[in-house]
Amino acid sequence: MQLYGFNNLTKTLSFNIFDICYARTERERRDYIAYIDEQYNSERLTGIMVDIAAKIGATVLNISKQDYEPQGASVNLLIAEEPIAEEAADKSCNLGKYFRDDKYLLGHLDKSHITVHTYPEWHPDNNVSTFRVDVEVSTCGTITPLSTLDMLINSFDSDIITIDYRVRGFTREEHGKKSFLDHKISSIQEYIDPAILKKYDMMDINVYQANIFHTKMLIKEINLQNYLFNTDVYELPPRVRLDITDQIRKEMIEIFSGMNVY
């Protein structure tokens, strides 16, 4: 498609994953949250986000990050579609060399950015704990965030995935005709590796006339050992294994469907 001037379309990918864990005691649940909080601290999340920026061919202009108490982390990257010379960048930008001194707090709002937030969660009356990662990749110009999906899914333990993709604004073709979408898409699934798709049950809810695409993914098979924290599956009697598997599956179905199952 030959365009007149700059591509004004804004393409936003919102990506949510849930990781599920079974922890028998309150102490184990707290230990799980502490473990997850350390595994996915702002330092590691920054590395993942920088890799995503490289994947879409974007230049990192600025990074701000924060670890929270008692748990959770956030990272924000301001990105540009094209490389920018260091002397041409705004002096407030750190060009990916983020500050380690806590006295600096940087914030940026722009139409091209990557953000990530984490939400570890547990409840004293529930043996199943969850960890949610919320990633948003928003770009303008010709680059699209859809190419980052495989990397995002493989960067986390993704039991349930909710993906939203929307395109906003319009750009003009060479002879002045408005274009509200500059690439073909009928489903987000088209941009996910078939080997990944085989592992999940999926549901699409798309509003084509509004350029809104929504996909939910639920892991098909549960290997119980992968969901036990500090417990070997063979320490548990067969009946207990079955009960735990049922609890985990119930939690997954509730998150996937967005409603409680009684």
Q: What is the pLDDT of residue 107?
A: 36
**Using a CB cutoff of 8 Å and minimum separation of 24, what contacts does 247-255 make?**
247/22, 247/127, 247/128, 248/20, 248/22, 248/128, 248/222, 248/224, 249/222, 251/20, 251/128, 251/130, 252/18, 252/20, 252/159, 252/160, 252/218, 252/219, 253/218, 255/18, 255/130, 255/160
Which helix (H) or strand (E) segment holds residue 28: the answer is helix 26-39
Q: What percent of the chain has pLDDT over 90?
A: 41
In the annotation, is 140 catalytic?
Answer: yes
Q: Of residues 21, 64, 117, 158, which has the active-site annotation?
A: 117
pTM (two decimals): 0.82
CB distance 175 to 40 below 8 Å? no
Q: Of residues 42, 93, 129, 140, which has the active-site annotation?
A: 140
Of 207 and 23, more confident? 207
What CATH number does the domain located at 10-257 have? 3.60.90.10
Q: Of residues 42, 112, 129, 155, which has the active-site annotation?
A: 112
pLDDT in tens, 46-103: 898 888 888 888 888 888 888 888 888 888 887 676 565 565 555 556 656 644 444 3
Q: b/e for 138-155, b at 16 or more Cβ within 10 A?
A: bbbbbbbbbebbeebbeb
In the annotation, is 92 catalytic?
Answer: no
